[in-house]
């Protein structure tokens, strides 16, 4: 019932902005002749009032169209996406904002496919998520013009652009081909990276809430969890509860940047009084048949809104009165479901011999991943929760190779509490380390072979990082793990002087030899295009070392070709002449 109430209140609070949106334009073919009875689709969206509407109109005999919509739920921050589909089933899209306007024109192919077609792909830079790389995949294009929100930014074949955040931008590629052929393709890039959070200060039945944000916020919407909500512009709000309880408080922050609205949501619990029973959680940490000498124990609760684990408190292992064993205890914990993890510090005698492990009621269950951790229910005054530390799956021989790198922290978390696991080629666990306070880490004394690094970053879903050590690459010391929001990315910093990308013979007659080195552990894409921009060869793979292959050129027409190598970080290209 509370959710329904929130939605209704939002609509009521914003209904005063009810307005009319009008758009009009013209649809012509490539020779500027009007296209009659062509469908134009208009989708209106308002994130403030959660309004969504999609309609369609047809052009008249002059190729003109017009559209109008009025609704109390349309606010000043609404936008509309206008779309037409050409003869190749390609969608052409324009974006408009309140109150709309005129001149939203399209020039598209009609009936017969044009002799040229604008087309492109794009991908996000691995180091800067605001930077996008755009790759031209058009056919029969002589000239290329790139624009962002109608402003020309490049006339190169490909281009790179860094967007502001938050924003909604329209990127278009307009090409001109032979016989005055022209075509345009567009894409909408949404940069929505706002975030919010808050802290609560409890004083009896009254709570002060202080919000935090990564940018300017125009207004807040608070749901205090007891059926009361409040819209506020203030950086501090106070709320008085009528009854004791454990309340789930939800904050929604609205940031308006130009014509775009960025919405961020955060929730947390606030405990008023102590209405629920309290208990103690205690346990022992076992390293094999022995008690762990030194350890840090962390108690987490799961946020029911986003599923993230929230740290409740932490403690350390305590020797018993006879110095026979060590144990941990969490006092005065409210009944509920929890997760407990042991981190082995470098000062422990068992560091490097065992892995950081989550607690389990089953002594044979040894979990190292937060995603698969076992929930422990506290429903009595005293709850036992032992931890049996996990040992390496296999013991490997010692060598002289090394894998090292750093965690680039953009989230403000303590990276020294995070863990990196090392696995062999069979994905067997062989070691783990914690980065230092600046995020640097190193696995040393390794032999040649294929390894995988698995970051254990709580509340972040991670993938394994593949690293190959051999005679050509005895050590890899340039791995970067980027942390940003609730995601992460990895890359290997490269010395461009060590990268080899060779093709020979050139000119080529029958077989083209390709040699690549210096990009081991990366996923690459190899493409070959003719002068019309048509892709005649494409291959995607993960490099495990130096790469050699022969590409058959015998049946290709004589002329100029372009071969490109993309690794998600850079695009390398060479020209090839076919005799």
Q: What is the CATH number of the domain that holds 502?
A: 2.60.40.1930
Residue 16, in any domain of the structure: yes
Q: Is the pLDDT of residue 372 over 50?
A: yes
Does 398 or 499 have the greater pLDDT score? 398
- For residues 211 and 218, the answer to whether their CB atoms sit within 8 Å is no
Mean pLDDT of 193-203: 76
Query: What's 284's DSSP letter?
Result: -
**Boundary residue ending a domain (191, 218, 234):** 191
Peptide bond into 330 cis (omega under 30): no
Q: Domain of 528? A: 496-578
Locate 316 and state its tokens: 């350390």
Name the band, by pLDDT with cuts 50, 70 and 90, for residue 304.
Answer: low
Residues 500 and 486 in one domain: no
How is the chain split among helix, strand and coil, in percent rounded to 5?
5, 55, 40
- For residues 287 and 296, the answer to whether their CB atoms sit within 8 Å is no
Residue where the block lists tokens 């490909």: 158
Residues 412 and 462 in one domain: yes
Strands (DSSP E) found in 118-181: 120-124, 131-136, 143-148, 151-154, 159-162, 167-176
pTM of the complete model: 0.43
- Distance in angstroms (rounded) separating the CA atoms of residues 190 and 170: 9
User: In the chain, pLDDT over 90 holds for what percent of residues?
Assistant: 11
pLDDT at position 6 is: 25
Name the band, by pLDDT with cuts 50, 70 and 90, for residue 259.
Answer: very low
Mean pLDDT of 425-454: 86
Residue 75, SS3? Answer: coil
Mean pLDDT of the chain: 79
Locate 418 and state its tokens: 């995070």
Residues 298 and 419 in one domain: no
Residue 394, in any domain of the structure: no
pLDDT at position 91 is: 66
Burial code (b: 16+ CB inside 10 Å, e: under 16) for 401-434 equals bebebbbbbebeeebebbbbbbbbeeeebbbbbb
In degrees rounded to 5, what are phi and psi of residue 17? -90, 5
Q: Is the pLDDT of residue 341 over 90?
A: yes
Residues 11 and 152 in one domain: yes
Name the band, by pLDDT with cuts 50, 70 and 90, for residue 541.
Answer: confident
- For residues 144 and 117, the answer to whether their CB atoms sit within 8 Å is no
pLDDT at position 316 is: 92
**Boundary residue ending a domain (492, 520, 552):** 492
Residue 396, in any domain of the structure: no
Residue 15, SS3? Answer: helix
Burial code (b: 16+ CB inside 10 Å, e: under 16) for 471-480 equals eebeebeebb
Strands (DSSP E) found in 303-417: 309-316, 318-319, 326-334, 336-343, 357-358, 376-378, 382-384, 387-388, 401-409
| Residue 203: CATH number of its domain | 2.60.40.10
Locate 502 and state its tokens: 């060779």
Residues 419 and 515 in one domain: no
Residue 405, in any domain of the structure: yes
Residue 222, in any domain of the structure: yes
Query: Where is average pLDDT lowest: 63-77, 203-217, 290-304?
Result: 203-217
Q: Is the pLDDT of residue 96 over 90?
A: no
**Boundary residue ending a domain (255, 272, 289):** 272
Task: Out of 5-14, 179-188, 549-558, give the one with best mean pLDDT.
Answer: 549-558
Angle at 72 between CA 71 and CA 77, to 5 degrees: 85
Mean pLDDT of 534-563: 85
- For residues 283 and 385, the answer to whether their CB atoms sit within 8 Å is yes
Residues 359 and 301 in one domain: yes
Q: Identify which of 443, 441, 414 has the alpha carbon closest to the alpha carbon of residue 431.
A: 443
Residues 481 and 502 in one domain: no
Q: Identify which of 457, 454, 489, 432 has the alpha carbon closest to the alpha carbon of residue 308.
A: 457
Q: How many domains are there within the chain?
A: 5
Length in residues, the chain: 579
Sign of CA dihedral 555, 557, 558, 563: negative
Q: Is the pLDDT of residue 65 over 50?
A: yes
Residue 55, SS3? Answer: strand
Residue 455, in any domain of the structure: yes
Q: Is the pLDDT of residue 415 over 80?
A: no
Residues 224 and 368 in one domain: no
pLDDT at position 9 is: 28
Residue 555, SS3? Answer: coil
pLDDT tens sequence across 116-174: 778 887 776 656 667 888 888 887 778 889 999 888 888 888 888 888 766 777 889 98
Query: Where is average pLDDT lowest: 431-435, 477-481, 536-540?
Result: 477-481
Residue 393, in any domain of the structure: no
Residues 424 and 550 in one domain: no
Residues 65 and 178 in one domain: yes
Residues 336 and 363 in one domain: yes
Residue 395, in any domain of the structure: no
Q: Could you tell me the maximum CA-CA distance found in the chain, to the nearest angstrom?
A: 96
Name the band, by pLDDT with cuts 50, 70 and 90, for residue 13.
Answer: very low
Residues 405 and 463 in one domain: yes
Q: Is the pLDDT of residue 239 over 80?
A: yes
- For residues 82 and 100, the answer to whether their CB atoms sit within 8 Å is no
């Amino acid at each position: 019932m509370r959710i329904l109430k929130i939605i209704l209140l939002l609509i009521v609070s914003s209904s005063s902005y009810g307005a009319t949106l009008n758009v009009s334009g013209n649809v012509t073919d490539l020779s500027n002749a009007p296209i009659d009875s062509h469908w134009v689709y208009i989708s209106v969206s308002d994130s403030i009032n959660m309004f969504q509407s999609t309609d369609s109109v047809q052009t008249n005999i002059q190729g003109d169209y017009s559209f109008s919509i009025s609704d109390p739920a349309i606010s000043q921050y609404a936008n509309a996406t206008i779309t037409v589909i050409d003869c190749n089933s390609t969608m052409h899209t324009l974006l408009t904002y309140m109150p709309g306007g005129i001149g939203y024109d399209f020039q598209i192919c009609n009936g017969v496919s044009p002799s040229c077609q604008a087309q492109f792909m794009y991908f996000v830079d691995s180091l800067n998520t605001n930077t996008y790389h755009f790759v031209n995949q058009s056919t029969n294009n002589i000239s290329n013009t790139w624009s962002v929100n109608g402003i020309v930014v490049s006339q190169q074949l490909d281009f790179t652009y860094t967007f502001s955040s938050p924003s909604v931008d329209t990127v278009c590629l307009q090409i001109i081909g032979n016989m005055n052929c022209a075509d345009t393709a567009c894409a909408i890039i949404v940069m929505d990276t706002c975030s919010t959070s808050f802290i609560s200060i409890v004083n009896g039945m009254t709570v002060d809430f202080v919000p935090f944000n990564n940018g300017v916020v125009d207004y807040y919407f608070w749901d205090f969890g007891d059926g009361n909500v409040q819209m506020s512009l203030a950086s501090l709000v106070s709320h008085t509860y009528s009854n004791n309880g454990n309340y789930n408080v939800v904050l929604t922050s609205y940031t308006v940047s130009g014509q775009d609205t960025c919405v961020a949501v955060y929730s947390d619990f606030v405990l008023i009084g102590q209405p629920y029973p309290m208990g103690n959680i205690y346990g022992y940490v076992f390293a094999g048949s022995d008690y762990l000498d030194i350890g840090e124990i962390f108690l987490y609760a799961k946020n029911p809104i986003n599923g993230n684990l929230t740290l409740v408190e932490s403690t350390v292992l305590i020797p018993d009165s006879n110095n026979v064993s060590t144990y941990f205890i969490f006092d005065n914990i409210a009944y509920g479901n929890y997760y407990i993890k042991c981190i082995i510090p470098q000062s422990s005698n068992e560091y490097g011999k065992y892995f950081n492990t989550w607690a389990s009621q089953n002594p044979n269950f040894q979990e190292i991943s937060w995603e698969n951790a076992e929930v422990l229910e506290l429903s009595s005054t005293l709850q036992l929760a032992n931890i049996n530390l996990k040992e390496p799956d296999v013991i490997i021989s010692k060598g002289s190779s090394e894998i090292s790198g750093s965690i680039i922290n953009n989230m403000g978390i303590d990276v020294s509490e995070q863990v990196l696991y090392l696995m062999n080629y069979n994905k067997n666990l062989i070691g783990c380390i914690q980065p230092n306070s600046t995020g640097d880490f190193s696995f040393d004394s390794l032999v040649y072979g294929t390894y995988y690094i698995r970051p254990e970053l709580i509340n972040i879903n991670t993938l394994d990082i593949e690293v190959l050590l051999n005679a050509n690459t005895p050590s890899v010391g340039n791995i970067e793990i980027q942390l940003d929001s609730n995601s992460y990315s990895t890359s290997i910093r490269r010395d461009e002087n060590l990268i080899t990308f060779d093709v020979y013979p050139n000119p080529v007659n029958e077989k083209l030899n390709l040699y690549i080195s210096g990009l081991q552990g990366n996923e690459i894409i190899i493409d070959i295009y003719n002068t019309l921009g048509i892709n005649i060869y494409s291959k995607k793979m993960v490099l495990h070392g130096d790469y050699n292959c022969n590409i058959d050129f015998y049946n290709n027409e004589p002329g100029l070709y372009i071969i490109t190598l993309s690794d998600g970080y850079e695009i390398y290209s060479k020209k090839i002449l076919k005799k």
